[in-house]
Chain A
Amino acid sequence: MKIGVFVCKCGVNIAGVVDVEKIAEVARNEGCFSEVLDYACSKAGQDEIAKKIKEEKLDAIVIAACTPKLHESTFRKLAEKSGLNPYRVVMANIREQCTWVHDKNKETQEKAEELTLMAINRVRKSKNLKKSKLRVKRKVLVIGGGVAGIETSLLLANSGIDVVLVEKQPSIGGHMALLNEIFPNNDCSICVLSPKMSEVWENEKISVYTNSEVTSISGYAGNFKVKIKVNPRYVNEECKGCIEDCSSICPITVYDEFLGTFRKAIYLPFPQSTPLYAKIDSESCIRCDMCIKACEPKAIDFSQKPEFFELDVGAIVIATGYSLFNPKLKPEFRFGEKGVITLLELERLLSPSSKIKFEDLFKNSPKVAFIQCVGSRDLSTNKHCSVVCCMASIKNAVILKRRYNANVTIFYTDIRACGYEEYYRKAMEIGVKFIRAKPVVEEVKDRVVLKYEDTLLGRVLKEEFDLVVLAVGMMGVDGEFVEVVHPKLKPVESLSPGIFVAGCASGPKDIRDSINSAGLAAAKVFEFMECAELEPYNAFVLPELCVGCKVCERACPSNAIKVSDKAEIVKEACRMCGLCVSLCPNNAIDQGFYSNEELFAEISAVSPGKVIVFACNYCAYSALDLAGALRLKYNECVRVIRIPCSVRVSSKMIVEAMKKSKGVVLAGCRIGECHFGVNEYAKERLEKLRSNLGKEGFRLKGIWCSANEAEKIVKEIEEFVKIVNS
């Protein structure tokens, strides 16, 4: 096998710290072809590599340069173009994990050489692998019928894809359907939304299930099985949506948190509800059965039961939007007492469809205060900025001023009017007061007394208001927003392949950005349907070794393994964490690109007396790359081996690494944040091993961090190096 090694200078980034020529020479001594390039990733560099692959008839290449996270795909494409199998490329990360984090000295040079050797050893064991095409069902599940879910559904349906839209509330529309006028151009919110709502309802390609929930998702990207529960609304399709007869007789009035206002136990969320069927809320309906009598079309049916059904879909879009911060958790604002309301409640009071009107509650020219950042940008609650509340408050302040000649003060932390600065200016011009302060409600009597420190004037003041509006922040529907692969470059891809995120489900957005992300999600779904490919990293069974013990079947987090006589792995379902590979007692399972042979070969190239770090590709490896970008220095004895997940490392592999080295670190995601949901297992395995090792146990350590915790991982590695060296 002929191996080519290309060492990149990367300007002074690499060549300024280590002697690249010497690295090339070391490779040559290993019997490889080698060459130094100025910038391997540049066009000239790439052309040179391509030329050499052909000229030298290379079977595999090593690129000693930056992190594989940056350019692995570049060089794989290059290899493919040059007639080489793309998985015959291995990168030695001598920039982020070597020259950027160590000083120019002998040890650094040695490390760069050794990293290259490790890569050479690994590439010798590499195999030809092939991506496989994924067959994706042409049906998409959209969860959440807010403006984002609506937009995604329409875009997909109009491109000829079947859509199933599942909405928890009795009507689609989400929060936008509740708003009064919307910034930036003060359109009537429901007027611009309701045509879209009926378009969704009428579109033949979209099946809408309101009052419904997704109870489980199984299967894999391209072929998900979802279970849907349709909750009874106790009103059948005879309902004409007249609502007046039944709701006026209904004796129960309840406060609805989602709607931000009061309603009866039988209700339509808003007059434009789609579908236009009333719903009886079983939590508050007391079965007085009076509506049965009052309903002329006889639409009320208390015999309804929840219905369950199953669907096969190819992709899923999560558009579950947001929930609002519960202001009761901040008792200093005395929410719930007379005169203290949330911003959503104010929107509802001002909205033309509301039964309770602002002018019925407050006299003309009321004095109104807005308190910003309630439960946002706050270390004790949500740290993030909720993005829309500044603008929403300014919008409502202007409306109050125009309609009721109100005297409005906005108490802010910082005004975030990104993209709408002129709107903010206009508010100031018409006399909305802005005070930089975070007040507390001191007293609620006839009026609400606020006490605050004006942080610009440095004075503590008290002031009375008729109404205090709390700009409560946004949170994910279950408290947390859905995590995406990359907040900038992959903002709509969830961590599970085939599942996308649109709208506020992934973080606070205004309507414009929600629509943007809905469009992107639809495009991504489309791309996924047309050309989804699977990396060939999947686990596979070596049937001659399998004894059918079922250990793998029980462990697999993706339910991809079935054992009848021998284990069988559904390639499409395998998410490639490597847990089964590490568990199989007979080594009967292996994995593409992260095979046992390849990883052991990499370990074998580490010289004695070093510290080996197994770093999970998703978090720890990225954290170490980030440490490089931040130039956080650590000891040169550290050798990092990239793994797909911390569970991939078997006990045998750890023991092997410990034999070779002074100490071994297993670094994975924070416990509970594992992308496959299995790293508790890795931790357990590590702890068992540590106790089995007895006195030697201190040479083994686990680090659990996220991709941005560079400082943490470096600190912990440094501490560990000190311990094993003493």
Chain B
Amino acid sequence: MIEEIEKIADVSDSNFIFKQNIFWSLEGERKKESREIVYYSNKCSGCRFCVYACPVNAISSYSEQPFILIDHTICCFCGICSSLCPDRAIEFRIDGVKKEPFVVYKGAEKLESCAGCAVCYTICPANAVKIKPILKIDDIHEREFGKNGTLRIDLEKCKKCGRCTLFCDALVAVVDEGIVNILFNEDRCDYCGLCEEVCPNKAIEVVSEYKVEKVGIKKVVDIEIENCIECGLCEISCPYDGVKVHKSIEGEIKVNWRRLEKYCDWESCRMCINICKSKAWYVEEGKLKLKTELCRFCRACMYVCPEKLIEVKVKSINCTPEWSSYKLAINRVLNEKTAELSRSWLLEGDE
């Protein structure tokens, strides 16, 4: 027999914590189960997937942070919202144990060819790349400046990834109008030749008498899947084709560019630019532009655009759950339908 159901809502920092405690007696013993739903509002992109996924319509949406509000009195603590959240902004726990979602967003996968440069680390919009601190040259050997030798950078081979510059301050990356250049500072070099090995592409050649033993550090990049939002920016930016992004959501984004020319006032509005987590919207030469490859079809920009100039269709979410109500939830997300609760006036008679 159910004895008591307790529902609590709490806010800590910018996170919302909803809790349900159920007390019941089984075989004469009082038992308790506690379920938790945590909404990390900073991770949320405003896609409203959860709003449609929710089987009891407990979630309402807003166009500003926090993008959603869960009515904890209606919430039935099933965790479907957490399963479908592409930003992994909702976490579901039963008795403290995190429940695995039924939709697995695969995200970015590091490939063999990853050279361990740091390009992705610098650009990832979701901070999903962690870089293990690369050893500095000074940690390996003590430099004696003023020696003679030559250091040549083969500009054909150099991919400007900047890994050498993280290693040794004799090499400096200079950004000039968006183009990266690697410059060589003779004064800081003792021609030890270690940079040859750091360079993933063997673009540096050092000739000298003072060459030192190996460096022994190869890969330094790690992807934290829990944070990856599948935007694909790393994949198109990686100089070594070292990463593959599995986009779990397929769709289509259409922009009415003609009307956009006329009505869009991006300079003061910037709604799409600000809300898009994957930075698919950007400004170039004084114009608002869209990089479709980066779009993850989350529909957030469509919801906030005040002029309704954007249309996003989600065609599929790559997941085939066995349970039919999960399929229905996915279908609702695809079709932007909330769960139907028809004929509810008849329920008024239910005690």
Contacts and interface: CB of A to CB of B under 8 A. Distances in A.
Interface of A: 244-245, 248-249, 251-253, 255, 261-262, 282-288, 290, 293-294, 296, 336, 338, 341, 345, 349, 355-358, 360-361
19 contacts: A245-B24, A249-B2, A252-B56, A255-B342, A262-B347, A282-B324, A285-B325, A287-B78, A287-B325, A288-B78, A294-B24, A336-B342, A341-B346, A355-B350, A357-B349, A358-B349, A360-B351, A361-B346, A361-B349
A251 B78 contact: yes
A286 B54 CA distance: 10
Interface string B70-87: 000000111110000000
B348 A360 contact: yes
Interface in B1-56: 1-2, 22, 24, 26-27, 31, 33, 55-56
Contacts of A249: 2, 22, 24
A288 B76 contact: yes
Contact of B79 (A288, A356, A361): A288
B76 A286 contact: yes
A399 B170 CA distance: 97
Interface string B312-351: 0000000000011110110000000000001101111111
B70 to A, nearest CB: 14
Nearest to B346: A356
**Chain B residues touching A, majority SS:** mixed
A283 B346 contact: no
B325 A283 contact: yes
A290 B34 CA distance: 11
Given A282-B324, A286-B325, A294-B2, A356 B347 contact: yes
A285 to B, nearest CB: 6
Contacts of A336: 342-343
Contacts of B2: 245, 248-249, 294
A282 B323 contact: yes
B350 A293 contact: no
A290 B325 contact: no
A701 to B, nearest CB: 49
A356 B349 CA distance: 5
Nearest first, the 5 closest Cβ-Cβ pairs linking A and B are A251-B76, A360-B349, A288-B78, A356-B349, A286-B78
Contacts of A255: 342-343
Nearest to A265: B325
A290 B24 CA distance: 11
A142 B347 CA distance: 36
Given A283-B328, A288-B77, A293-B24, 10 more contacts: A245-B2, A249-B22, A252-B55, A282-B325, A285-B323, A286-B76, A288-B78, A293-B26, A294-B26, A355-B350
B72 to A, nearest CB: 13
A356 B350 contact: yes
Interface string B119-137: 0000000000000000000
Contacts of B351: 355, 360
A251 B339 CA distance: 14
A358 B33 CA distance: 36
A253 B325 contact: no
A338 B349 contact: no
Contacts of B76: 251-252, 286, 288
Contacts of A262: 343, 346-347, 350
Given A255-B343, A285-B325, A296 B78 contact: no
A244 B24 CA distance: 13
A207 to B, nearest CB: 27
A246 to B, nearest CB: 10
Given A249-B2, A293-B33, A284 B349 contact: no
Contacts of A356: 346-347, 349-350
Nearest to B94: A289
A287 B326 contact: yes
Contacts of B77: 251, 288
Contacts of A245: 1-2, 24
A357 B347 CA distance: 10
A669 B26 CA distance: 65
B78 A338 contact: no
Contacts of A296: 26-27
B95 to A, nearest CB: 11
B74 to A, nearest CB: 9
Contacts of B78: 251, 286-288
A261, A288, A293: most-surrounded residue (chain B CB, <10 A): A288
Contacts of B342: 255, 336
B349 A290 contact: no
Given A245-B1, A252-B76, A286-B76, A361 B348 contact: yes
A357 B22 CA distance: 29
A284 B342 CA distance: 14
A345 B345 CA distance: 13
Contact of A286 (B27, B80, B345, B349): B80
A388 to B, nearest CB: 23
Contacts of B329: 286
Given A336-B342, A360-B351, A284 B325 contact: yes
Contacts of A294: 2, 24, 26
Contacts of A286: 55, 76, 78, 80, 325, 329
Contacts of A357: 349
B101 to A, nearest CB: 12
A253 B347 contact: yes
A7 to B, nearest CB: 70
